[in-house]
């Protein structure tokens, strides 16, 4: 009998289309992450007051993946999320598929609306730069 002695993965992945902008600084920096959560996720600043800076990124992800919380925005800051290169991205996923059904959600998106929302966020967060499109795959 043969026994596997290494790592075995049964993970899934999804492909997606993302529209957003580069963050020219570390998104885990307390001030930056607070601005993102207040501007993009409409979190009350008072809700963030008692959170230690080391716990802030965990709080961000807890909120983002909370089934009752709705936000179109996502932070892509490492390769498992589909990041290409090392500069973190912030923006919207406008289409995605999961490998269990191999099809994209059917969507028709007005790109001018998306770009307008992202430009407004850039102003609130204090970021300038081009709006970019990323097509990639991430672990789920």
pLDDT over threshold 80, residue 119: yes
Task: Please provide the average confidence, as pLDDT, over all residues in the chain.
Answer: 80
Per-residue pLDDT band for 4 (boundaries 50, 70, 90) equals very low
Phi-psi group of 93: left, alpha or beta (phi > 0 → left; psi -120 to 50 → alpha; rest → beta): beta
At residue 57, the pLDDT reads: 81
Single pTM value for the model: 0.75
Q: What is the DSSP string of 74-89?
A: EEE-SGGGT--SSS-E
């Amino acid at each position: 009998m043969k026994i596997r002695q290494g790592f075995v993965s049964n993970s899934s992945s999804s492909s997606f289309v993302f529209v957003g902008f580069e963050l020219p600084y570390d998104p885990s920096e307390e001030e930056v992450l607070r601005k993102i959560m207040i501007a993009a996720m409409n979190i009350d600043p008072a809700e963030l007051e008692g959170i230690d800076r080391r716990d802030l990124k965990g709080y961000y992800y807890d909120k983002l993946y909370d089934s009752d919380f709705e936000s179109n925005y996502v932070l892509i800051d490492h390769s498992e999320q589909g990041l290409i290169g090392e500069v973190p991205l912030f923006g919207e996923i406008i289409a995605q598929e999961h490998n269990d059904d191999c099809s994209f959600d059917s969507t028709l998106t007005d790109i001018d609306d998306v770009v307008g929302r992202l430009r407004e966020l850039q102003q609130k967060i204090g970021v300038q730069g081009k709006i970019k499109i990323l097509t990639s795959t991430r672990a789920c």
